[in-house]
Structure 1
Amino acid sequence: MRHFTNDNGKLYVYDKIENRFYESSTENLFVQKDRNTFKNLVGENDDFVEKIYSEYDSYFAGVLTEITTKKIFDGKILKSLISLAYLSKWRVRQYDESFKMLKIFSALMTLVLVLKMKMKKD
Protein backbone atom coordinates (compact mmCIF):
# COMPACT_ATOMS: atom_id res chain seq x y z
CA MET A 1 0.00 0.00 0.00
CA ARG A 2 3.09 2.20 0.25
CA HIS A 3 2.54 3.94 -3.09
CA PHE A 4 -1.20 4.40 -2.57
CA THR A 5 -1.25 6.11 0.82
CA ASN A 6 -0.25 9.57 2.01
CA ASP A 7 2.53 10.30 4.53
CA ASN A 8 0.18 9.32 7.37
CA GLY A 9 -0.47 5.91 5.80
CA LYS A 10 -4.04 6.82 4.89
CA LEU A 11 -5.97 6.57 1.64
CA TYR A 12 -8.09 9.26 0.07
CA VAL A 13 -11.59 7.89 -0.35
CA TYR A 14 -14.48 9.25 -2.37
CA ASP A 15 -17.94 8.81 -0.83
CA LYS A 16 -20.27 8.70 -3.82
CA ILE A 17 -23.44 9.10 -1.74
CA GLU A 18 -22.22 12.17 0.17
CA ASN A 19 -20.18 13.47 -2.80
CA ARG A 20 -17.06 14.11 -0.73
CA PHE A 21 -13.47 12.94 -0.27
CA TYR A 22 -11.99 11.96 3.08
CA GLU A 23 -8.90 10.27 4.52
CA SER A 24 -9.18 6.81 6.04
CA SER A 25 -6.98 3.93 7.06
CA THR A 26 -7.34 0.64 5.21
CA GLU A 27 -8.44 -0.96 8.47
CA ASN A 28 -11.39 1.42 8.77
CA LEU A 29 -12.38 0.88 5.16
CA PHE A 30 -12.42 -2.88 5.19
CA VAL A 31 -13.44 -3.74 8.75
CA GLN A 32 -16.85 -3.20 10.28
CA LYS A 33 -16.66 -2.58 14.02
CA ASP A 34 -18.41 -5.24 16.11
CA ARG A 35 -19.56 -7.13 13.00
CA ASN A 36 -18.79 -10.44 14.70
CA THR A 37 -20.10 -9.51 18.14
CA PHE A 38 -23.01 -11.50 19.55
CA LYS A 39 -24.79 -11.48 22.89
CA ASN A 40 -23.76 -14.47 25.01
CA LEU A 41 -25.96 -16.44 27.42
CA VAL A 42 -25.73 -13.76 30.10
CA GLY A 43 -26.53 -10.96 27.65
CA GLU A 44 -23.02 -9.54 27.34
CA ASN A 45 -21.32 -8.73 24.05
CA ASP A 46 -19.00 -11.57 23.06
CA ASP A 47 -16.60 -11.72 20.13
CA PHE A 48 -16.34 -15.52 20.08
CA VAL A 49 -16.72 -15.52 16.28
CA GLU A 50 -13.61 -13.33 15.99
CA LYS A 51 -11.75 -15.74 18.29
CA ILE A 52 -12.77 -18.65 16.05
CA TYR A 53 -11.60 -16.73 12.96
CA SER A 54 -8.29 -16.07 14.70
CA GLU A 55 -7.78 -19.79 15.35
CA TYR A 56 -8.65 -20.64 11.75
CA ASP A 57 -6.36 -17.91 10.41
CA SER A 58 -3.46 -19.40 12.37
CA TYR A 59 -4.26 -22.86 11.05
CA PHE A 60 -4.60 -21.67 7.44
CA ALA A 61 -1.32 -19.77 7.65
CA GLY A 62 0.36 -23.13 8.25
CA VAL A 63 -1.50 -24.66 5.32
CA LEU A 64 -0.39 -21.87 3.00
CA THR A 65 3.18 -22.22 4.26
CA GLU A 66 3.12 -25.93 3.41
CA ILE A 67 1.95 -25.14 -0.10
CA THR A 68 4.49 -22.39 -0.76
CA THR A 69 7.59 -23.68 1.00
CA LYS A 70 7.23 -27.45 1.10
CA LYS A 71 5.34 -27.66 -2.22
CA ILE A 72 2.80 -30.03 -0.64
CA PHE A 73 -0.67 -30.17 -2.18
CA ASP A 74 -2.57 -33.27 -1.13
CA GLY A 75 -6.18 -34.09 -0.25
CA LYS A 76 -5.85 -32.67 3.27
CA ILE A 77 -4.53 -29.38 1.88
CA LEU A 78 -7.33 -29.24 -0.69
CA LYS A 79 -9.98 -29.78 2.02
CA SER A 80 -8.36 -27.03 4.08
CA LEU A 81 -8.42 -24.60 1.15
CA ILE A 82 -12.10 -25.35 0.50
CA SER A 83 -12.83 -24.67 4.18
CA LEU A 84 -10.85 -21.43 4.00
CA ALA A 85 -12.84 -20.30 0.95
CA TYR A 86 -16.14 -21.13 2.64
CA LEU A 87 -15.26 -19.34 5.89
CA SER A 88 -13.94 -16.33 3.98
CA LYS A 89 -17.32 -15.80 2.37
CA TRP A 90 -18.80 -14.74 5.70
CA ARG A 91 -16.24 -11.93 5.93
CA VAL A 92 -17.37 -10.32 2.66
CA ARG A 93 -19.96 -7.54 2.79
CA GLN A 94 -21.94 -9.18 -0.02
CA TYR A 95 -23.20 -11.65 2.60
CA ASP A 96 -24.08 -9.05 5.25
CA GLU A 97 -27.82 -9.68 4.97
CA SER A 98 -27.31 -13.42 5.49
CA PHE A 99 -24.94 -12.66 8.36
CA LYS A 100 -27.56 -10.42 10.01
CA MET A 101 -30.07 -13.26 9.76
CA LEU A 102 -27.51 -15.59 11.32
CA LYS A 103 -27.08 -13.15 14.22
CA ILE A 104 -30.87 -12.99 14.73
CA PHE A 105 -31.09 -16.78 14.64
CA SER A 106 -28.23 -17.01 17.14
CA ALA A 107 -29.98 -14.56 19.47
CA LEU A 108 -33.21 -16.58 19.27
CA MET A 109 -31.37 -19.84 19.96
CA THR A 110 -29.66 -18.20 22.93
CA LEU A 111 -33.04 -17.09 24.26
CA VAL A 112 -34.39 -20.64 23.90
CA LEU A 113 -31.37 -22.03 25.78
CA VAL A 114 -31.72 -19.48 28.58
CA LEU A 115 -35.43 -20.28 28.94
CA LYS A 116 -34.71 -24.02 29.04
CA MET A 117 -32.04 -23.49 31.70
CA LYS A 118 -34.44 -21.41 33.81
CA MET A 119 -37.18 -24.03 33.45
CA LYS A 120 -34.81 -26.76 34.66
CA LYS A 121 -33.98 -24.71 37.76
CA ASP A 122 -37.66 -24.32 38.65
Structure 2
Amino acid sequence: MEKSKRHHYVPKFFIKKFTDKDGLLYVYNKNENRILRIKQSPKAIFFELNRNTLNLGGEEFDNLENLYAELDSAIAKNLENILKLDNITPEDIAGIGMLASMLKWRTLGKDEEFNEIKNVLTAEDLSINISIKGDGNTNDKKALEHIYNSEIFRETKRVLLPILPLLDGSKLADIHNNSFINTNGTFPALLGDSPLIERSNKDFRVLENFILPLSSDSTFIYKTNCRKQITNPMFWIQRDLAVLHLAEKFVACSDRDHLERIIEIYRICKENNTEQQIMKFIFDMID
Protein backbone atom coordinates (compact mmCIF):
# COMPACT_ATOMS: atom_id res chain seq x y z
CA MET A 1 0.00 0.00 0.00
CA GLU A 2 1.27 3.47 -0.91
CA LYS A 3 2.03 5.55 2.16
CA SER A 4 0.29 8.88 2.63
CA LYS A 5 2.43 12.01 2.24
CA ARG A 6 0.06 14.99 2.52
CA HIS A 7 -0.55 15.13 6.25
CA HIS A 8 -3.17 17.64 7.40
CA TYR A 9 -2.64 19.19 10.82
CA VAL A 10 -6.17 20.59 10.48
CA PRO A 11 -8.34 17.66 9.32
CA LYS A 12 -9.92 17.88 5.87
CA PHE A 13 -13.38 16.97 7.19
CA PHE A 14 -13.13 20.02 9.46
CA ILE A 15 -11.84 22.41 6.77
CA LYS A 16 -14.79 21.50 4.53
CA LYS A 17 -17.21 23.05 7.04
CA PHE A 18 -15.76 26.51 6.30
CA THR A 19 -15.76 26.46 2.50
CA ASP A 20 -17.95 28.50 0.13
CA LYS A 21 -20.58 27.10 -2.23
CA ASP A 22 -17.78 25.95 -4.56
CA GLY A 23 -16.04 24.06 -1.78
CA LEU A 24 -13.12 26.53 -1.75
CA LEU A 25 -11.53 29.07 0.59
CA TYR A 26 -9.56 32.30 0.41
CA VAL A 27 -6.24 31.77 2.18
CA TYR A 28 -4.15 34.44 3.87
CA ASN A 29 -0.42 33.90 4.34
CA LYS A 30 0.25 35.67 7.62
CA ASN A 31 4.03 35.61 7.29
CA GLU A 32 3.97 37.15 3.81
CA ASN A 33 0.94 39.37 4.54
CA ARG A 34 -0.92 38.41 1.38
CA ILE A 35 -4.06 36.59 0.32
CA LEU A 36 -3.35 33.86 -2.21
CA ARG A 37 -4.60 34.84 -5.65
CA ILE A 38 -6.45 31.58 -6.29
CA LYS A 39 -8.98 30.07 -3.89
CA GLN A 40 -7.88 26.76 -2.38
CA SER A 41 -9.55 23.40 -1.74
CA PRO A 42 -9.41 21.67 1.67
CA LYS A 43 -6.97 19.18 0.18
CA ALA A 44 -4.50 21.94 -0.68
CA ILE A 45 -4.25 23.77 2.66
CA PHE A 46 -3.27 23.20 6.30
CA PHE A 47 -0.91 20.32 5.61
CA GLU A 48 2.79 19.50 5.56
CA LEU A 49 4.38 16.79 3.48
CA ASN A 50 5.31 13.78 5.62
CA ARG A 51 4.58 15.68 8.83
CA ASN A 52 3.67 12.44 10.61
CA THR A 53 6.08 10.13 8.78
CA LEU A 54 8.76 8.45 10.86
CA ASN A 55 12.01 7.17 9.39
CA LEU A 56 13.15 4.15 11.38
CA GLY A 57 16.22 2.29 10.21
CA GLY A 58 15.89 3.71 6.73
CA GLU A 59 12.24 2.67 6.37
CA GLU A 60 9.36 5.15 6.43
CA PHE A 61 6.27 4.56 8.56
CA ASP A 62 3.00 6.51 8.48
CA ASN A 63 1.45 4.84 11.54
CA LEU A 64 0.80 8.18 13.24
CA GLU A 65 -1.08 9.49 10.22
CA ASN A 66 -3.17 6.32 10.24
CA LEU A 67 -4.01 6.91 13.90
CA TYR A 68 -5.13 10.44 13.10
CA ALA A 69 -7.24 9.11 10.23
CA GLU A 70 -9.07 6.77 12.60
CA LEU A 71 -9.71 9.60 15.07
CA ASP A 72 -10.86 11.91 12.28
CA SER A 73 -13.36 9.36 11.02
CA ALA A 74 -14.98 8.99 14.45
CA ILE A 75 -15.00 12.71 15.29
CA ALA A 76 -16.40 13.67 11.88
CA LYS A 77 -19.62 11.83 12.80
CA ASN A 78 -19.86 13.72 16.11
CA LEU A 79 -19.37 17.01 14.27
CA GLU A 80 -22.15 16.20 11.82
CA ASN A 81 -24.53 15.48 14.71
CA ILE A 82 -23.52 18.64 16.55
CA LEU A 83 -24.09 20.87 13.52
CA LYS A 84 -27.57 19.45 13.01
CA LEU A 85 -28.42 20.81 16.48
CA ASP A 86 -30.78 17.89 16.93
CA ASN A 87 -30.62 15.08 19.48
CA ILE A 88 -27.04 15.88 20.54
CA THR A 89 -25.71 13.10 22.74
CA PRO A 90 -23.06 13.19 25.50
CA GLU A 91 -20.90 11.17 23.09
CA ASP A 92 -21.14 13.97 20.53
CA ILE A 93 -20.09 16.54 23.12
CA ALA A 94 -17.18 14.29 24.13
CA GLY A 95 -16.24 14.06 20.44
CA ILE A 96 -16.10 17.84 20.13
CA GLY A 97 -14.05 17.97 23.34
CA MET A 98 -11.67 15.49 21.71
CA LEU A 99 -11.58 17.57 18.52
CA ALA A 100 -10.71 20.68 20.52
CA SER A 101 -8.02 18.88 22.49
CA MET A 102 -6.61 17.27 19.35
CA LEU A 103 -6.48 20.59 17.50
CA LYS A 104 -4.61 22.01 20.47
CA TRP A 105 -1.71 19.56 20.07
CA ARG A 106 -1.86 18.50 16.42
CA THR A 107 -1.38 21.94 14.91
CA LEU A 108 1.60 24.16 14.18
CA GLY A 109 1.23 26.37 17.23
CA LYS A 110 2.20 23.54 19.57
CA ASP A 111 5.20 22.20 17.65
CA GLU A 112 7.78 23.97 19.79
CA GLU A 113 6.14 23.07 23.11
CA PHE A 114 5.63 19.44 22.11
CA ASN A 115 9.25 19.08 20.99
CA GLU A 116 10.32 20.37 24.41
CA ILE A 117 8.22 17.91 26.43
CA LYS A 118 8.07 14.77 24.29
CA ASN A 119 11.38 13.46 25.64
CA VAL A 120 10.44 13.95 29.28
CA LEU A 121 6.79 12.87 29.30
CA THR A 122 6.50 9.43 30.84
CA ALA A 123 3.91 6.72 30.33
CA GLU A 124 2.71 7.54 33.85
CA ASP A 125 2.25 11.20 32.86
CA LEU A 126 0.04 10.00 30.02
CA SER A 127 -1.89 7.57 32.22
CA ILE A 128 -0.93 4.57 30.11
CA ASN A 129 0.73 1.29 30.92
CA ILE A 130 2.60 -0.88 28.43
CA SER A 131 3.34 -4.44 29.43
CA ILE A 132 5.12 -7.30 27.72
CA LYS A 133 3.85 -10.82 28.13
CA GLY A 134 6.60 -12.76 29.79
CA ASP A 135 8.04 -13.65 33.15
CA GLY A 136 9.48 -10.21 33.87
CA ASN A 137 13.06 -11.21 33.18
CA THR A 138 15.84 -8.86 32.13
CA ASN A 139 15.10 -9.24 28.44
CA ASP A 140 11.46 -8.24 29.01
CA LYS A 141 12.54 -5.15 30.93
CA LYS A 142 15.01 -4.20 28.22
CA ALA A 143 12.34 -4.61 25.56
CA LEU A 144 9.98 -2.38 27.55
CA GLU A 145 12.69 0.21 28.02
CA HIS A 146 13.40 0.09 24.28
CA ILE A 147 9.72 0.83 23.53
CA TYR A 148 9.63 3.79 25.92
CA ASN A 149 12.81 5.24 24.42
CA SER A 150 11.83 4.68 20.80
CA GLU A 151 11.18 7.56 18.41
CA ILE A 152 7.78 6.16 17.47
CA PHE A 153 6.66 6.19 21.12
CA ARG A 154 7.94 9.75 21.62
CA GLU A 155 5.98 10.93 18.57
CA THR A 156 2.88 8.91 19.51
CA LYS A 157 2.67 11.04 22.65
CA ARG A 158 1.28 13.77 20.40
CA VAL A 159 -1.74 11.58 19.71
CA LEU A 160 -2.06 10.55 23.36
CA LEU A 161 -1.81 14.05 24.88
CA PRO A 162 -5.27 15.20 23.66
CA ILE A 163 -6.92 12.21 25.31
CA LEU A 164 -5.44 12.95 28.72
CA PRO A 165 -7.75 15.83 29.81
CA LEU A 166 -10.81 13.81 28.77
CA LEU A 167 -10.01 10.83 30.98
CA ASP A 168 -11.48 12.86 33.83
CA GLY A 169 -15.22 12.18 33.89
CA SER A 170 -15.87 15.40 35.78
CA LYS A 171 -14.23 17.41 32.97
CA LEU A 172 -16.47 15.78 30.38
CA ALA A 173 -19.50 16.50 32.55
CA ASP A 174 -18.41 20.11 32.94
CA ILE A 175 -18.02 20.53 29.19
CA HIS A 176 -21.44 18.96 28.66
CA ASN A 177 -23.12 21.21 31.25
CA ASN A 178 -21.36 24.46 30.41
CA SER A 179 -21.14 24.46 26.63
CA PHE A 180 -23.38 25.71 23.85
CA ILE A 181 -23.38 26.25 20.12
CA ASN A 182 -24.02 29.72 18.76
CA THR A 183 -25.01 30.14 15.13
CA ASN A 184 -24.35 33.48 13.46
CA GLY A 185 -24.41 33.89 9.71
CA THR A 186 -23.42 37.56 9.71
CA PHE A 187 -19.67 36.99 9.86
CA PRO A 188 -18.34 33.75 8.31
CA ALA A 189 -15.78 32.34 10.73
CA LEU A 190 -12.10 32.36 9.95
CA LEU A 191 -10.24 29.07 10.20
CA GLY A 192 -6.59 29.22 11.21
CA ASP A 193 -3.79 26.69 11.40
CA SER A 194 -4.16 26.76 15.21
CA PRO A 195 -7.95 27.12 15.45
CA LEU A 196 -8.57 26.40 19.15
CA ILE A 197 -9.08 29.53 21.24
CA GLU A 198 -8.31 28.37 24.79
CA ARG A 199 -8.20 30.38 27.99
CA SER A 200 -4.64 30.74 29.29
CA ASN A 201 -3.43 27.30 30.34
CA LYS A 202 0.03 25.89 31.05
CA ASP A 203 -1.06 22.45 32.28
CA PHE A 204 -1.02 19.80 29.54
CA ARG A 205 -3.32 17.62 31.67
CA VAL A 206 -6.14 20.17 31.48
CA LEU A 207 -8.41 21.48 28.75
CA GLU A 208 -9.43 24.98 29.81
CA ASN A 209 -12.51 26.95 28.77
CA PHE A 210 -12.40 27.21 24.99
CA ILE A 211 -13.98 28.61 21.84
CA LEU A 212 -13.88 26.56 18.66
CA PRO A 213 -15.48 27.60 15.36
CA LEU A 214 -17.08 24.43 13.98
CA SER A 215 -18.16 25.81 10.60
CA SER A 216 -18.46 29.11 8.81
CA ASP A 217 -21.57 29.95 10.87
CA SER A 218 -21.46 27.78 14.03
CA THR A 219 -19.17 28.16 17.04
CA PHE A 220 -18.80 25.81 20.01
CA ILE A 221 -18.30 27.65 23.29
CA TYR A 222 -17.31 26.14 26.62
CA LYS A 223 -17.16 28.47 29.59
CA THR A 224 -17.74 27.31 33.16
CA ASN A 225 -20.74 28.86 34.92
CA CYS A 226 -21.90 30.86 31.91
CA ARG A 227 -25.51 31.59 30.97
CA LYS A 228 -24.89 30.24 27.47
CA GLN A 229 -25.48 33.39 25.50
CA ILE A 230 -23.63 36.02 23.50
CA THR A 231 -24.99 39.54 23.88
CA ASN A 232 -21.98 41.54 22.71
CA PRO A 233 -22.04 41.72 18.88
CA MET A 234 -18.30 42.41 18.88
CA PHE A 235 -17.71 38.82 20.00
CA TRP A 236 -17.68 37.57 16.41
CA ILE A 237 -15.06 40.08 15.33
CA GLN A 238 -13.05 39.27 18.45
CA ARG A 239 -13.34 35.53 17.70
CA ASP A 240 -11.90 36.00 14.21
CA LEU A 241 -9.17 38.33 15.47
CA ALA A 242 -8.21 35.62 17.97
CA VAL A 243 -8.02 33.02 15.18
CA LEU A 244 -5.74 35.31 13.18
CA HIS A 245 -3.67 36.16 16.25
CA LEU A 246 -3.09 32.50 17.12
CA ALA A 247 -2.27 31.41 13.58
CA GLU A 248 1.34 30.52 12.83
CA LYS A 249 1.19 30.82 9.03
CA PHE A 250 -2.23 30.50 7.42
CA VAL A 251 -5.81 31.65 7.89
CA ALA A 252 -8.73 30.85 5.58
CA CYS A 253 -12.25 32.19 5.07
CA SER A 254 -15.09 31.72 2.60
CA ASP A 255 -15.57 35.50 2.26
CA ARG A 256 -12.66 37.57 0.99
CA ASP A 257 -14.14 40.91 2.10
CA HIS A 258 -14.54 39.68 5.68
CA LEU A 259 -11.05 38.21 5.67
CA GLU A 260 -9.60 41.53 4.49
CA ARG A 261 -11.59 43.38 7.15
CA ILE A 262 -10.18 41.20 9.96
CA ILE A 263 -6.65 41.52 8.57
CA GLU A 264 -6.97 45.31 8.60
CA ILE A 265 -8.38 45.44 12.15
CA TYR A 266 -5.57 43.16 13.34
CA ARG A 267 -3.01 45.40 11.63
CA ILE A 268 -4.38 48.37 13.56
CA CYS A 269 -4.26 46.38 16.82
CA LYS A 270 -0.59 45.57 16.19
CA GLU A 271 0.22 49.18 15.37
CA ASN A 272 -1.28 50.20 18.70
CA ASN A 273 0.31 47.26 20.57
CA THR A 274 -3.12 45.99 21.66
CA GLU A 275 -3.14 42.57 19.95
CA GLN A 276 -2.53 40.84 23.31
CA GLN A 277 -5.84 42.27 24.55
CA ILE A 278 -7.70 40.13 22.02
CA MET A 279 -7.19 36.95 24.02
CA LYS A 280 -7.56 38.72 27.36
CA PHE A 281 -11.11 39.95 26.81
CA ILE A 282 -12.75 37.43 24.50
CA PHE A 283 -14.03 35.16 27.28
CA ASP A 284 -15.51 38.20 29.07
CA MET A 285 -17.82 38.61 26.07
CA ILE A 286 -19.56 35.31 26.87
CA ASP A 287 -22.44 35.67 29.34
TM-score by length of structure 1 reads 0.56
Unaligned runs of 5+ in 1: 6-10, 114-122
SS in 1 for 2:81: helix
Query: For the residues of structure 1 that align with 2:28 and 2:95, how far apart are their CA atoms?
Result: 37
Query: For the residues of structure 2 that align with 1:109 and 1:70, how far apart are their CA atoms?
Result: 45
Match runs of 1:16-95 below 5 Å: 16=32, 29-40=45-56, 42-69=57-84, 71-95=86-110
Do residues 109 (structure 1) and 124 (structure 2) align?
Answer: no
- CA spacing shift, 1:89–1:32, aligned 2, 3 Å: same
Query: For the residues of structure 2 that align with 1:65 and 1:14, how far apart are their CA atoms?
Result: 30
- CA spacing shift, 1:103–1:34, aligned 2, 3 Å: farther
Unaligned runs of 5+ in 2: 1-19, 121-146, 154-287
Query: For the residues of structure 1 that align with 2:66 and 2:91, how far apart are their CA atoms?
Result: 23
Cα deviation, 1:4-46, whole Å, max 9, x if unaligned, reads 67xxxxx7968639xxx98796655521111111234x55221
Query: For the residues of structure 2 that align with 1:4 and 1:24, how far apart are their CA atoms?
Result: 5
Q: Which has the higher contact order (CA 8 A, sep 6+)?
A: 2
CA shift, 1:52, in A, is 0.9
TM-score by length of structure 2 reads 0.28
Question: When the two structures are aligned, how many residues end up with a matched partner?
Answer: 104
- CA spacing shift, 1:61–1:48, aligned 2, 3 Å: same
- Please tell me the root mean square deviation across aligned C-alpha atoms, in Å: 4.1
Matched AA of 1:35: R
1:89·1:95 contact (CA, 8 Å) conserved in 2? Answer: yes
Query: For the residues of structure 2 that align with 1:83 and 1:54, how far apart are their CA atoms?
Result: 14
- CA spacing shift, 1:4–1:31, aligned 2, 3 Å: closer
1:60·1:84 contact (CA, 8 Å) conserved in 2? Answer: yes
Query: For the residues of structure 2 that align with 1:61 and 1:15, how far apart are their CA atoms?
Result: 30
Matched AA of 2:102: L
- CA spacing shift, 1:71–1:28, aligned 2, 3 Å: closer
* Structure number with higher helix proportion: 1
- CA spacing shift, 1:110–1:4, aligned 2, 3 Å: closer
1:14·1:22 contact (CA, 8 Å) conserved in 2? Answer: no
SS in 2 for 1:71: coil
